[in-house]
A and B are shown apart, each in its own frame.
Chain A
Amino acid sequence: MTAYILNLLVLISVYAILSTTLNFIIGYAGIFSLAHAVFFGIGGYTAALVAMNVTPEFFVAVPVAMGAAAVTSLLLALPALRVRGEYFVAASLGLQVLAVTLFSEWKSFTGGIGGVIGIPAVELFGYPVYKPWQFLLMSLICLATIIVITRTLVHTSFGRSLKALRDSESAALASGKNITVIKTLSVVLSSSLAAAAGALYAFYMSFINVESFMLDTSVLVMAMVIIGGTATILGPLLGAALLMLIPSALTYLSFLPQTEIGSIQQMVYGMAMVLLMIFRPGGIVSSHPGGSK
């Protein structure tokens, strides 16, 4: 039972990193990306590659994974600079689909459909971290660090520039904001921090394949952000916890036909989304008028 709960908590913290970093661009820069799982994947594959061929040291594998995602995220920044709104969503969707194909085909990097197996336990200054509670502690510390980083950024001049261009791009331009640099930087930061989640995930599972990095993951993380509440700190955390707990909660309802759990889960998500958008469009933790802050 504790093993089950620890496992769930680790996964929640990994997804909370994803939702927090996606919220950074959705909530503060107004960039609605459906390609967040791509950088989750790049982080995972890169960390696995480093761990298996160089060293499983956390402070080597994670920075390298983040660097790889930072570089590739420029591919996402490109459409973000040119188009807004639904056009950008479509472009990010294209990138997600493209990445899944690459992840499935590029065998030397990703192991193809079969994935990467036998990823060694992560090491902290040479000490392997393999007990679940140790790993939970480590991922919680990562989550806390990332929350502090994004929270700090949001309250600096950079955060103000982001919000300015989110609220009115033309007025931000007329105020002398170099939108190219600001948007690119926000995408690079968000993507490289998402890669840290990927690295944690790869180390934790010791096996990864493309199925964890597909469109459903991107959609799930976006749902976490929107259901929890964009442009808030707590919202994405709450969203991640909620959407990770729903499936487990459902398995405990013994009257439900267990073979249909998958589709019931989808329906619950769907209903929750629809109801929420009707009654609380700002998300559970709303930053909009009528909400608390």
Chain B
Amino acid sequence: MSTQLNIAQETAKPVPGSGFIGSTDDQDVLLEISNLSKNFGGLQAINDVSLNLRAGIITTLVGPNGAGKTTLFNMITGHIPPTEGNVHWQGESVIGKAPWKIARQGIARTFQDLRLFTHMTVEENILTVMEPGSWLWQPGGKSRKARRYDKVSQILERTGLTDKRHTRALDLAYAERKFLSLARIMATDSRLWLLDEPASGLDPNSYNLFLRLLREEVKEGITVCIIEHNLDIVVNISDRIAFLDQGKLLADGEPETILNDPALAAIYFGER
């Protein structure tokens, strides 16, 4: 509860263009994307997209393959510079910042192709994320170190990877790899999670575990933006839906509104 209040306070200054005044559901904008565009040579992967991610909710980014969803993530996290436009994180522009700095400001992400640290063990994968010091030692000494190991154990427990603690990432099964990529961002103290197709290909049990984790984290105050095709996530989990097609943001609103729009449904279900 107190973290929720903090979020409200920190973001309680008017953010440009967020429609802050007088509107109840426009409060607590954590991340503001304004007029963002990206050209790859002649291809316009993202075309003048403006979108707000609100604190404490799940925003789902939907759209056909090649719509530009991953590219949008890449620009938010600094992996790809935009051609035009801006991204504000808690009121401050992140454009031009190194990805590791953006990450340390509280934006965590997973990758569609996971990008685990393949030759490291599950434990090392998680531990390294909690070690921000770049030099030869970590601040905080033995007690902090012990706390890091405790946190690894907790995360392993929650993601069902306890038995795999000393297994190398490349020796994991598919679902386990996906949970490791989640575990890696659970280890950060980030406020915003950008998840790139985290549920795709999960068996029903794994999928339910994933949903439970997601709900728990949101309850703890994590804000989530998730790229997903899975209709269950789109309909039942999302608080808001942003619909992207061919680099353009076609709609952004409550799930019912979006799904009841026949034109969008046609694109979504591939009936163009």
Contacts and interface: CB of A to CB of B under 8 A. Distances in A.
Partners in one complex: yes
A266 to B, nearest CB: 32
B108 A181 contact: no
A264 interface: no
Contacts of A160: 120, 124, 127-128, 131
Contact of A163 (B79, B111, B124): B124
A167 B117 contact: yes
Interface string A169-180: 011111111110
Interface residues of B, number: 34
Given A163-B124, A171-B111, A185-B136, A177 B117 contact: no
B120 A177 contact: no
Interface in B132-180: 132-138, 170-171
Contacts of B99: 170, 173-174
Interface in B73-127: 77-79, 98-100, 103-104, 108-109, 111, 115-120, 124-125, 127
Highest count of chain B CB atoms <10 Å: which of A167, A176, A182: A176
A171 B133 CA distance: 16
Given A177-B100, A179-B100, A182-B134, A167 B120 contact: yes
A171 B109 CA distance: 9
Highest count of chain A CB atoms <10 Å: which of B129, B134, B170: B134
B184 interface: yes
A79 B192 CA distance: 33
Interface of A: 153, 156-158, 160-161, 163-164, 166-168, 170-179, 181-182, 185, 231, 287-289
Ranked nearest first, the 7 interchain pairs of A and B with the lowest CB-CB distance are A171-B115, A157-B131, A181-B134, A173-B99, A160-B128, A176-B103, A168-B115
10 contacts: A156-B137, A157-B138, A161-B131, A164-B125, A167-B118, A168-B118, A170-B111, A170-B115, A176-B100, A181-B134
